[in-house]
Structure 1
Amino acid sequence: MVSLVSTFACCGAIGFVGALMGHVARGQIRATGEQGDGLALAGIIIGWITTLLLVAGVLVWIGLIGVAAAGY
């Protein structure tokens, strides 16, 4: 549950933390047989997707700044 919640914290800026916690949670779930595997998996998937989107957005922003600085 913490994995999924932290994925959405700060508008996805720390989505990778949710993904990492999801990986840790899935390991504990497998070891102990507890419930919550679906929530951990959702945290992993959404966390990595938001991290990817954040990185892509930063790269686009850097590219736009580079084009503006070149005077085009």
Structure 2
Amino acid sequence: MSTPQYQPQYQGYPQPTMQAKTNTLAIAALISSFFVSLLGIILGHIALNQIKTTGEGGRGLAIAALVIGYLSLALAVVIIIVVFASAAAYQG
């Protein structure tokens, strides 16, 4: 009797997975949120809506743009209030 030969089972190469295309508006929202916070907020909300309907990637970028945009807008409002309050206190 002969021993059975071991025949390796090759499964081949794994098929490459297609990455979801990153939403361009999400990228633009993130970049613009550093310079014009209101524009970053608007573009971020539009990008999130597009990502939800199309299934594209970039949800994290859009959320980051919203966070940065809202924080910088809130910081700008606080600075304006402090400046006007200190100017009013200096006048009176």
Task: State the AA in 1 paired with 2:38.
Answer: F
Is the aligned partner of 1:69 residue 2:91?
yes
**For residue 19 of structure 1, what is the amino acid of its counterpart?**
I
Task: Point out where structure 2 has 5 or more consecutive residues left out of the alignment.
Answer: 1-26
After TM superposition, the score normalised by the length of structure 1 is: 0.88
After superposition, give the CA deviation of every residue in 1:8-58 in whole Å (9 maximum; x if it has no partner): 11xxxx212101110000000000000000000000011000000000000
Give the corresponding residue for 2:24.
Answer: none
Distance 1:17 1:57 in 2: 19
Equivalent runs, 1:1-72 vs 2, <5 Å: 1-9=27-35, 14-70=36-92
Give RMSD over aligned pairs: 0.6
Gaps of 5+ in 1: none
Tell which structure's C-alpha radius of gyration is larger: 2
Aligned length: 66
- SS for the counterpart of 1:20 is helix
Q: Which runs of 4+ in 1 moved over 2 A?
A: none
